[in-house]
């Protein structure tokens, strides 16, 4: 378990979608400055959990707690105002807007409006080195991810939920992304929940891992140890054999 109390947590989350149970009794939390890996084979329920944590879905049972406050009934944008940031599995950017226009929309999303200085600071923090005049739609995958991350970073969230941020990146880009994520946790003190289904990628960066399989939490702890757990191996083996 984390050494300091969780800044963001959920307790006993259940949800049914399409007439079947998708998540059953999920409890987990992340401490400030901690990187929690959320692992599990395809279809395990990782993204659905993020939908609940971020406020797009309401669980049928259970609670979501942000900085000591019960936010289970709060909408996505209200949670964002309280310091929750989230990125999505696909790095979708508004193709027809320039990078500067995307930043401006993000700066003006909530009051008080942020300044250009905030955007420049966030771009620098994530190592986004492209002119503000280029079209967001022309950016490569890593720069798209950086742009979306920088738009969140401007408001200095206390927690970031990152859904498969390494998807579509090559190894050297994954290393760069890992060092950005590490910086957000270690230097800026954010709690980070990071979804990934490739175990080997998480062992390089996560302080702790939880493993989901078929909607249940089947293992939790130190990444290296968790990956040796026979239940975890079985969950992955089944997927590879399918």
Comparing C-alpha atoms, which of 1, 3, 18, 8 is closest to residue 161?
Answer: 8
| CA 78, 67, 125, 49 torsion-angle sign | negative
Does 45 sit near ligand ATP (CB under 6 A)?
yes
Structure tokens at 53: 């944590």
- When asked if residue 88 is in the footprint of Mg ion (CB under 5 A), the reply is no
Q: What is the DSSP letter of 3?
A: S
Closest CA to 64 of 15, 113, 98, 97: 15
47 binds Mg ion (CB under 5 A): yes
- Decide: is 197 part of the binding site for ligand ATP (CB under 6 A): yes
54 interacts with ligand ATP by CB under 6 A:
no
Measured from the Cβ of residue 93, the count of other Cβ atoms closer than 10 Å reads: 20
Whole-angstrom Cα distance, residue 28 to residue 115? 35
**Residue 230 binding result from ligand ATP, Mg ion, none, given CB thresholds of 5 to 8 Å by partner type:** none
- Which residues within the stretch 144-163 sit at the binding site for ligand ATP (CB under 6 A)? none
* Residue 114 DSSP code: P
Residue 42 within binding range of ligand ATP, rule CB under 6 A: yes
Residues that bind ligand ATP (rule: CB under 6 A) add up to a total of 13
C-alpha torsion angle, residues 131, 134, 137, 139 (rounded to 10): -40
Q: Which of 48, 87, 98, 143 binds ligand ATP (CB under 6 A)?
A: 48
SS3 assignment, position 21: strand
Name the binder of 86 from Mg ion, ligand ATP, none, CB < 5-8 A by kind. Answer: none
Residue nearest Mg ion (C-beta atom): 47
Closest CB to ligand ATP among residues 19, 68: 19
Residue 168 within binding range of ligand ATP, rule CB under 6 A: no
* Residues forming the site for Mg ion (CB under 5 A): 46-47
* Residues forming the site for ligand ATP (CB under 6 A): 17-18, 22, 40, 42-48, 89, 197
């Amino acid at each position: 378990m984390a050494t300091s109390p969780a800044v963001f947590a959920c307790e006993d989350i259940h949800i049914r979608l399409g007439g079947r149970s998708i998540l059953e009794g999920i409890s987990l939390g992340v401490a400030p400055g901690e990187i929690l890996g959320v692992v599990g084979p395809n279809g395990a329920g990782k993204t659905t959990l993020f939908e609940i944590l971020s406020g797009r879905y309401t669980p049928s049972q259970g609670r979501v707690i942000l900085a000591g406050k019960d936010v289970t009934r709060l909408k996505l944008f209200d949670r964002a105002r309280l310091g929750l940031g989230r990125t999505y599995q696909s790095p979708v950017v508004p193709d027809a807007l320039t990078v500067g226009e995307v930043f401006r929309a993000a700066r003006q999303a909530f009051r008080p409006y942020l300044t250009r200085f905030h955007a420049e600071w966030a771009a620098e923090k994530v190592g986004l080195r492209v002119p503000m005049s280029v079209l967001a739609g022309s950016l490569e995958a890593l720069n798209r991810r950086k742009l979306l991350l920088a738009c969140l970073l401007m408001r200095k969230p206390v927690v970031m939920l990152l859904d498969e941020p390494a998807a579509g990146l090559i190894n050297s880009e994954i290393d760069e992304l890992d060092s950005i994520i590490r910086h957000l946790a270690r230097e800026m003190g954010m709690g980070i929940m990071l979804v990934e289904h490739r175990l080997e990628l998480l062992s390089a960066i996560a302080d702790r891992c939880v493993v989901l399989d078929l909607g249940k939490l089947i293992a939790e702890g130190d990444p290296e140890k968790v990956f040796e757990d026979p239940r975890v191996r079985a969950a992955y083996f089944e997927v590879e054999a399918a």
